[in-house]
Homo-oligomer: A and B are copies of this chain.
């Protein structure tokens, strides 16, 4: 089924609304309050950041690459676009405050889809505690969404990927493997287990946990977008350390086991290599309440920084590459 098949010829589309109508429909109606001084509708938004340090991150979602309109509703795609970006600001230890949104979409996109999408964006903004401060809409051959998330460090030092120290623990909060199990489920043409499918369509980001980690002395932090092992590999490189993950500490929830059993896979692989869940993983002397210790920081051996699983290299592919190159 192509996306054209998802449009009926008699329903209103973006072409009926025009560019400014589309902007107003998605962005223009947003009400703003402190710390947003000027919201959508001017040349740029203005945000107040009294302590003077702002975190900012941009990520794009493209139809056919990151989502499919026959797998996810507009609401889910709108929520996901916000969630995956705000997670990056959380991972610096910042308090998320605002997002901007750039939306490209075909002129024959149904207005009903746009309204769902805008509703999803607003709903996730409310959940994340951020405001939609501005954006742009333009025509394009497929739906392409770029979100920039802004966060206020509020006097905290930013938590980078580069501060992990041997002897510390690796801890996580959120979910791992659910989105990958959901992707496997959808790829095979199934719609259940519903829990993993829902989390593939939109992750549950542990909002607010980033600043908790920063306040608890996190020495490094990352959000898991490409998979636990792949993303910890980035932290290992940036910190010049190695990590060892203790699989006995990893929760392999029942739906992940069910999907693995039904599709002939290893449920642990979902947890170790599945992306798109946007859990937060950080290193601490002592992990704060609510976080699960899943491993430890060790000295990098002669061959350099590495991530091992139960003391040995992991056999398998660690992550996903959008351009199809081997990692």
Is A101 in contact with B58, judged by CB distance below 8 angstroms? yes
Q: Does A38 contact B (CB under 8 A)?
A: yes
Q: Does A197 contact B (CB under 8 A)?
A: no
Q: Which of B50, B57, B321, B325 contacts A52 (CB 8 A)?
A: B50
- Nearest B residue to A280 by beta-carbon distance? B43
Q: Does A309 contact B (CB under 8 A)?
A: no
Known A58-B134, A138-B62; judge A42-B92 contact (CB<8 A): yes
Q: Does A49 contact B (CB under 8 A)?
A: yes
Contact with B along A228-261 (1 / 0, CB 8 A): 0000000000100000000000000000000000
Q: Which of B43, B66, B134, B140 contacts A62 (CB 8 A)?
A: B140
In A43-74, which residues have CB < 8 Å from any B CB? 43-62, 64-66
| Docked pose: A265 CA to B56 CA in angstroms | 45
Residues of B within 8 A of A37 (CB): 53, 158
Copies in the complex: 2
Chain B min CB distance to A165 (Å): 17
- Nearest B residue to A89 by beta-carbon distance? B44
Residues of B within 8 A of A161 (CB): 41-43
Residues of B within 8 A of A123 (CB): none
Is A18 in contact with B59, judged by CB distance below 8 angstroms? no
Q: Which of B64, B139, B326 contacts A18 (CB 8 A)?
A: B326
Q: Which of B19, B43, B56, B323 contacts A47 (CB 8 A)?
A: B56
Query: Interface size class for chain A?
Result: 35 or more
Contact with B along A293-327 (1 / 0, CB 8 A): 00000000000000000000000000001111111
Is B38 in contact with A160, judged by CB distance below 8 angstroms? yes
Is B138 in contact with A140, judged by CB distance below 8 angstroms? no
Q: Which of B65, B148, B325 contacts A58 (CB 8 A)?
A: B148
Chain B min CB distance to A161 (Å): 5
Is B58 in contact with A146, judged by CB distance below 8 angstroms? yes
Is B17 in contact with A223, judged by CB distance below 8 angstroms? no
| Docked pose: A135 CA to B48 CA in angstroms | 23
Q: Does A124 contact B (CB under 8 A)?
A: no
Residues of B within 8 A of A61 (CB): 138
Q: Does A128 contact B (CB under 8 A)?
A: no
| Docked pose: A50 CA to B51 CA in angstroms | 7
Q: Does A136 contact B (CB under 8 A)?
A: yes
Contact with B along A124-141 (1 / 0, CB 8 A): 000000000111111111
Residues in chain A within 8 A of chain B (CB atoms): 14-22, 37-38, 41-62, 64-66, 88-89, 91-92, 94, 98, 100-104, 107, 133-142, 144, 146, 148-151, 153, 158, 160-162, 221-223, 238, 321-327
In the assembled complex, 11 residue pairs joining A and B whose CB atoms fall closer than 8 Å, in A order, are A18-B324, A42-B92, A43-B89, A44-B88, A45-B55, A47-B54, A56-B134, A58-B102, A60-B136, A64-B141, A137-B322
